[in-house]
Every structure is written in C-alpha cells, then in structure tokens.
Chain A
Amino acid sequence: MTDLYQSQRAMRNKRQAAMQRGVIAVLDVGSSKIACLVLRFDGPENFRDSDGIGSMAGQSSFRVIGAATTRSRGVRFGEIDAMHETERAIRTAVQAAQKMAGVRVDHVIACFAGAKPRSYGLAGSVDLHDGAVTDNCVARVLSSCDVPDYGENREILHAQPVNFAVDHRSGLGDPRGQAGNALSVDMHMLSVDRAPIENLLYCIKRCDLELAGIASSSYAAGISSLVEDEQELGAACIDLGGGSTGISIFIKKHMIYADTVRMGGDHVTSDISQGLQVPMPTAERIKTFYGGVQATGMDDRDMIDLSSDTGDWEHDRRTVSRAEVIGVMRPRMEEILEEVRVRLDAAGFEHLPSQRIVLTGGASQLPGLDGLATRILGQQVRLGRPLRVQGLPQSVTGPSFASAVGTCLFAAHPQDEWWDFDIPVEGYPARSLKRAVKWFKDNW
C-alpha cells in the first residue's frame, strides 16, 4: 500500500515537473489505435491573476500542439499482448506527434482500457480532536479507510475521495474548516491487474519516456464526454472501444464506478469476417462503410461486393446484402450492450437520480446504435463526443478520441486522489524510523 502510494506520488511529482517544463504527452493505448497528443501548458489560464472560472471552463490552460494516431498493434482487450509490437506502435505515434509539435516530449500520461478494473467503495471515519477539519484530518480520514482485500497481483489505479461528511452533514465537497466531532469519507477505489500496467510501463520506458500519470480510459472517456450537469446529476459513460467497452458512472462530478466489458468493435469485425468468409481488413471496411444495427427494407436491395482475389471465380464474385451485414453485427452489438446493462445493474445504476447514458468511443459511430441502446439501456441515451480542447485537430475530435481527450483533461486538472494528501504523521510505519537509525549506523 505504501509502495503504491510512493509510486503514485512520484508520478504526481513528474507531472508537476512536466507542467513546469510546459510540455507533456498524452498516450491512449487502445486496441484499435494508439493516439498521442502533445500538450503545451502556456494558455492564458496559467497567467490569470483573478480567481474564478476562466474561459472554456478552465480548460484552456493547455493547447494541443501535436496529435498523431497509429494503428494499434499487439494490443488485445486494451491490454498489451505483444510488447515489442506495441512499443513500435507507441514509438510511431509519439514520434509523429513530436514532429507535429516540434518539441521533444519526455513525460507522458497514459490511459488504457483493459486490465479488468474493479471498483470498490471505501468508507473511513475519524474523530476530530480539535473540533475543526484541517488538511491533516483529511489525510487521516483517507488513510483510515479500511482497504478491502483486492487480491494479489493487482494495483490501485484511482483512489478518489468522493464524499465527505462531518458528523451528520453529508455531501461535502471540501470539508476543511468545518466544525464537528467526526469526519467520515467515502472513497472510490479502482484496482486493476498488475501485469498489464507493468507491460505498459515497460513499453513506455523502452520509448525513453517517463510515465507522469496513468488513468483508466473509461474514467478519461467519462470526464471528456459527459457534460457538466450529467457529471453532477449522475450519468454513465459507455466507451465502446475496439477491444473492450468501458463503463464509468459519475455523480456529483466524481466517478463512483468503473468497469469494462471485454468486447468491442473488433469483435464485430471478426464476426463479419467469420460470417461472410472475408479477411479482417475487408470486414473492417464493410463494417465502417455499410455497417448498422437497424435493418430496413431498403437494405435488402443494397448489395455489397465481397471482392477478393483467391482465383476462384465463384468465391471472388460474391455479394451480400446490407441487411445480412446488419444481421451479423446486430447480435454482437446487442450482446455488448446487454453485458453493459448487466454491469450497470450490478453497480446499482438504477438508483441514481438521473440515468443518463452517453455512448462514446469508436464503435458508437455505428449508425442506429442509439436506437438499439435505447431499447437495451433505457430511454436517456445520447451519443457523446469529447469536449473541444484548444488546438485539437479536426481529425481527432471524433468520439473515438474521447479517452485521449479525457486524459488531456486529467493531465491538466487531475482530481484529488488519496496520494495527493500527505500521510499523517502517526500513519508512518514505525520501522521507517528504525530504518533511518540503521542507515545512520551503517554509514557513520
């Protein structure tokens, strides 16, 4: 627990160093593409003398000065599968983005989708000695949370205080200075498998970059594609990616639940490939050009050539109707959405005051998906696109870049996490003092 705390703190320090230098890269390692955005932190917000909400809701403190996307290789289900392939892909993206930006990037904030995230709600409470809440009290209450046994070989990716309560007044965003007898906190903790994180770290290190932060891509997609009132009132963001589908639930501007379904757009492609007996690139092309989930009578007459060059005349001259393609795709999309529904139900999404669902990610561009999702997930479904940030090229404003843009926002304004607070003095393990004494003895 302390190691994790230290490493996350180290990453925060690196992020601070990168902000001082003014350039930081954001890397979205996805199953279908790897996107790299280079941010420059010299916007007007950095030099504001007055307080308050600035232009573009405070998001104009950075500019995107480089953006590059490359086809992802070696990534499956949002996890790195073939390290060297992925490393090469990351290198490609980073180099192209650097070239566009014209500056060298040393620090990178990465987000990735897979690694089986699991959410935990933690609660902690401490007595207030001096009657008022101080910074130290916040740190104490955060470290007083009883951490569940989240399993061997898992790491904590996010640990965000969601809600503070002083005595019986709950729903406090910032309890400091409040008077009371007891302070309690609700914390959301997201744990992921350790191996994918280590793989990602290895790849990034091989690219001569330093990791200045790491985020779950479902969280990043949520903060970029949910608008402010949705985040406030309660909403779920469904990030339909290539290899996995991320789910994140927000309320009161905090993520309270995140999960992934290990199915995505690539599975639709492979269904088409298997069902129509065509190679994967052709299937991908058919999916993007003719795909859909809602067949109409017109689609029966819309014939698609499945041209290939095997030499077999019959095989090379096949055609399918668009309705058949839709017939292949729809069950898979339904399956994904059903699975999302299950996860949302498990999370207790129906108890939220507002049950807005936002579909984003590359696969959300499928025509008619909102209709299908309405049927499965409920009435309040909309398609989301990421927030516009300054300097973002037109080509990366689509929904498939929701998590990349979200990581930009995460880089610029990271939410308070557990490791942003100092460990309270009594929380230090006693042996650290012993270690210090031993170190003195050994060296002098």
Chain B
Amino acid sequence: MRPLNPFNKPQPSNDPAPSRWSYRMERLWLTPAFRKCVRVFLPAMLVVAGIGLYFSDADRQKVISEKYAEIRRSVEERPEFMVKIMAIDGASSGLNNAIREVMPVDLPLSSFDLDLEAMRKQVESLDAVKRVDVRVRAGGLLQINVEERVPAVVWRGPDGLELLDVGGHRVSAVQSRAARPDLPLIAGEGANTAVPEALALLERTSPIRDRVLGVVRISERRWDVVLNRDQRIMLPPLQPDLALDRVLALNEAQDLLKRDVTHIDIRNPDRPTLRMTSDALTSMREMQGIKVNSN
C-alpha cells in the first residue's frame, strides 16, 4: 500500500505530473485574453509608467525643454532661414513709411519667428490698406504686396475732414477741403455709411457740376444736395435718384435753379415744394396782388 500520510510522501523520481498550481498557471497562460494582457498591455503600461516617472521630475523636464529649445533655435537661426530685407510693393511713400512703422518685427529675423498672418492683420488694420499679401520669398526677402484704398470722397464728419473710399471706408484724414479739390464733398452724420449712394447722386448731378458743393446726409436717412448761392435740393429717403432726375429735368426745362429759390423740397415726390427768398416772395405776392386786383 502506498503511504497515505501527506508528510511522508515518497518522492517519485520521475513523476512528470505538473503540480496543481503549475497546471493552473499553464492553463492561465494559454488563455488568449490573459496572454495578450501580459504580453502587450503589461509592457505597454510599464513603458508608459517609466516614461511618466522619468518626466515627472521638474528639473529634468526643464533640462529637456531647454535642450529642445536650443536645438530648435540652432536650426531656426541657420542663415538659410533668416529674413533680412522687407520689400513693399504697391504702396505710396507715406503708406510705405506707415507700414514700416507698424510692422512689429526687427529684421534680420528667422522665418520661423515670423507670424505672417499676424503681420498681414497688422498691415490690414491700416485704413489706407485695402488688401495685403505677406510672404517670405527666397533669398531672405519679406515681400509685402499692398493694394491701397483709393479715396473717392471727402467727408466732413464729426472728427473733421476725412477721405473715404467708394465703400465708405476711411482712408486718411485731410487737413482742408482745398487739399483734395478733385474729390466731391459729403457731409452729415452717417454719410460715411452711404457713400455709394452719395456717389450715385453726385454722378447724376453732372449737368450742374459747377454748381454742386456737395451732398449732406440728413438724419442718417436722406440726402440734401447743396448748391452754391445757398440753394439746396432736399431729396426723399426712397429713390432719391429719380427725385433728383425730376429736379434736374425741371431745371433744364424752366431753369429752376437759376431762379430765386433757396430750397427745392422734393421729400414728398407727390408734392414738390419750393422755398423762395423773401424778395422773391414779396414780388410774387405783388404779382399775385395785381392778378387778384385785375380779377
């Protein structure tokens, strides 16, 4: 009989049987999920944890980031990447100076440090600049192509005289009306928001060009055309151009503007009204009186 006492077990010399635990371990190891866990996830976790531990030290982080910055610097500052000259095309000399003044960079500078988009925004923030391209060209050249705003009108606004382009955008301030006699004058609050309308009106006044002083925006809704000899054409807010055409036609037919009227009020197109000078009014009364009397 074999000994049953577990402490008195004869050690079989060549027992190939695995112990129960080694058998279980072997089976566990053959489980695909466990195997994948041990062979993939565990090493990955260890690597991640190791890297995390290594980089969690602040000094080490600083050293590494400094080293990195140094290497980066050394590459960026190679002469191949340096921008030395700025070239500005399409700008007048005053604008040229303004751009150079506003440009936030001191050349020479590495092209990595240039924020072209910011520079473009910066230049575009100048009123006189309509559109700008900023690019770094070969040979260390910072090329800035500028399209200037062309002033179309002089606006007598609350801040003094300003030049506006056709869209109503400010171009620059101007000292006096005499500085730009070639441009028409507009005035009134809110006139800058309706520059195209004003220009269209002024275009229609070409038959009386020599008499027109300018147009005035009234209450930010309608226009007055101001003529010399203290005359004014008051236009309606809706379809002012047609109303102006009517006045001009009247003028052509009856020389209305040469007469002694101060205001031609066509704000209500159904009922055009004339305001006359007091002399004219008196003489008209007289004429009416004669007529009344004669009747």
A residues adjacent to B (C-beta < 8 A): 70, 82, 88-89, 91-92, 94-95, 98-99, 102-104, 206-208
- List which B1-44 residues lie within 8 A (CB) of chain A: 2, 15-18, 20, 23-24, 26-27, 30-32
Q: Which residue of chain B lies nearest to A92 when distances are taken between CB atoms in the complex?
A: B17
Identify the 6 closest CB pairs spanning chains A and B, nearest first. A88-B17, A104-B30, A92-B17, A91-B23, A92-B16, A104-B31
Known: A82-B2, A95-B18. A208 touches B24 (CB 8 A): yes
Partner among B20, B26, B32 whose Cβ is within 8 Å of the Cβ of A99: B26
Cα A89 to Cα B12 in complex, Å, equals 13
Known: A88-B17, A89-B17, A104-B31. A95 touches B26 (CB 8 A): yes
- The reply to whether B24 and A98 form a contact with Cβ atoms under 8 Å apart is no
- The reply to whether A88 and B24 form a contact with Cβ atoms under 8 Å apart is no
Can you report 29 residue pairs joining A to B where beta carbons are below 8 Å apart? A70-B16, A82-B2, A88-B15, A88-B17, A89-B17, A91-B17, A91-B18, A91-B20, A91-B23, A92-B17, A92-B18, A94-B23, A95-B18, A95-B23, A95-B26, A95-B27, A98-B26, A98-B30, A99-B26, A102-B30, A103-B30, A103-B32, A104-B27, A104-B30, A104-B32, A206-B20, A208-B23, A208-B24, A208-B27
Chain A residues lying within 8 Å of B16, measured Cβ to Cβ, are 70, 92
Chain B residues lying within 8 Å of A207, measured Cβ to Cβ, are 23
Chain B residues lying within 8 Å of A206, measured Cβ to Cβ, are 20
Task: Give the Cβ gap from A362 to chain B, nearest Cβ, in Å.
Answer: 20
Most buried by A among B17, B26, B31, B32: B17
Additional A-B contacts beyond A99-B26, A104-B27, A104-B30 (8; CB < 8 A): A89-B17, A91-B17, A91-B20, A91-B23, A92-B16, A95-B18, A103-B32, A206-B20
A-B residue pair count with CB separations less than 8 angstroms: 33
B residues adjacent to A (C-beta < 8 A): 2, 15-18, 20, 23-24, 26-27, 30-32
Q: Which residue of chain A lies nearest to B26 when distances are taken between CB atoms in the complex?
A: A95
Chain B residues lying within 8 Å of A103, measured Cβ to Cβ, are 30, 32
Cα A206 to Cα B23 in complex, Å, equals 11
Cα A207 to Cα B19 in complex, Å, equals 11
Q: Which residue of chain A lies nearest to B22 when distances are taken between CB atoms in the complex?
A: A95
Chain B residues lying within 8 Å of A88, measured Cβ to Cβ, are 15, 17
Secondary structure class of chain A's binding surface, majority of residues: helix
Q: Which residue of chain B lies nearest to A103 when distances are taken between CB atoms in the complex?
A: B30
Most buried by B among A82, A91, A94, A208: A91
Cα A95 to Cα B30 in complex, Å, equals 10
Q: Which residue of chain A lies nearest to B23 when distances are taken between CB atoms in the complex?
A: A91
Cα A356 to Cα B24 in complex, Å, equals 46
Partner among A92, A98, A102 whose Cβ is within 8 Å of the Cβ of B27: A98
Cα A95 to Cα B17 in complex, Å, equals 9
Chain B residues lying within 8 Å of A89, measured Cβ to Cβ, are 17
Chain B residues lying within 8 Å of A99, measured Cβ to Cβ, are 26
Task: Give the Cβ gap from A360 to chain B, nearest Cβ, in Å.
Answer: 27
Chain A residues lying within 8 Å of B30, measured Cβ to Cβ, are 98, 102-104
Cα A104 to Cα B30 in complex, Å, equals 5
Cα A92 to Cα B26 in complex, Å, equals 11
Task: Give the Cβ gap from B22 to chain A, nearest Cβ, in Å.
Answer: 8
Cα A102 to Cα B32 in complex, Å, equals 10
Cα A288 to Cα B2 in complex, Å, equals 28
Cα A70 to Cα B16 in complex, Å, equals 9
Chain A residues lying within 8 Å of B31, measured Cβ to Cβ, are 104
Task: Give the Cβ gap from B154 to chain A, nearest Cβ, in Å.
Answer: 89
Cα A70 to Cα B31 in complex, Å, equals 24
Cα A11 to Cα B17 in complex, Å, equals 27
Chain B residues lying within 8 Å of A91, measured Cβ to Cβ, are 17-18, 20, 23
Chain A residues lying within 8 Å of B32, measured Cβ to Cβ, are 103-104
Task: Give the Cβ gap from B37 to chain A, nearest Cβ, in Å.
Answer: 14
Task: Give the Cβ gap from B137 to chain A, nearest Cβ, in Å.
Answer: 64
Cα A103 to Cα B29 in complex, Å, equals 9
Task: Give the Cβ gap from B211 to chain A, nearest Cβ, in Å.
Answer: 99
Task: Give the Cβ gap from B2 to chain A, nearest Cβ, in Å.
Answer: 7
Cα A104 to Cα B31 in complex, Å, equals 6
Chain A residues lying within 8 Å of B24, measured Cβ to Cβ, are 208
Cα A208 to Cα B20 in complex, Å, equals 10
Chain A residues lying within 8 Å of B17, measured Cβ to Cβ, are 88-89, 91-92
Chain A residues lying within 8 Å of B26, measured Cβ to Cβ, are 95, 98-99
Task: Give the Cβ gap from A292 to chain B, nearest Cβ, in Å.
Answer: 30
Task: Give the Cβ gap from A426 to chain B, nearest Cβ, in Å.
Answer: 45
Cα A103 to Cα B32 in complex, Å, equals 8
Task: Give the Cβ gap from B124 to chain A, nearest Cβ, in Å.
Answer: 68
Q: Which residue of chain B lies nearest to A206 when distances are taken between CB atoms in the complex?
A: B20
Q: Which residue of chain A lies nearest to B2 when distances are taken between CB atoms in the complex?
A: A82
Cα A95 to Cα B27 in complex, Å, equals 8
Cα A296 to Cα B23 in complex, Å, equals 50
Task: Give the Cβ gap from A412 to chain B, nearest Cβ, in Å.
Answer: 23
Task: Give the Cβ gap from B144 to chain A, nearest Cβ, in Å.
Answer: 70
Chain B residues lying within 8 Å of A70, measured Cβ to Cβ, are 16
Q: Which residue of chain A lies nearest to B27 when distances are taken between CB atoms in the complex?
A: A104
Chain A residues lying within 8 Å of B18, measured Cβ to Cβ, are 91-92, 95
Q: Which residue of chain A lies nearest to B17 when distances are taken between CB atoms in the complex?
A: A88
Cα A88 to Cα B27 in complex, Å, equals 15
Task: Give the Cβ gap from A433 to chain B, nearest Cβ, in Å.
Answer: 43
Most buried by A among B24, B26, B32: B26
Task: Give the Cβ gap from A162 to chain B, nearest Cβ, in Å.
Answer: 40
Cα A415 to Cα B23 in complex, Å, equals 33
Q: Which residue of chain B lies nearest to A70 when distances are taken between CB atoms in the complex?
A: B16
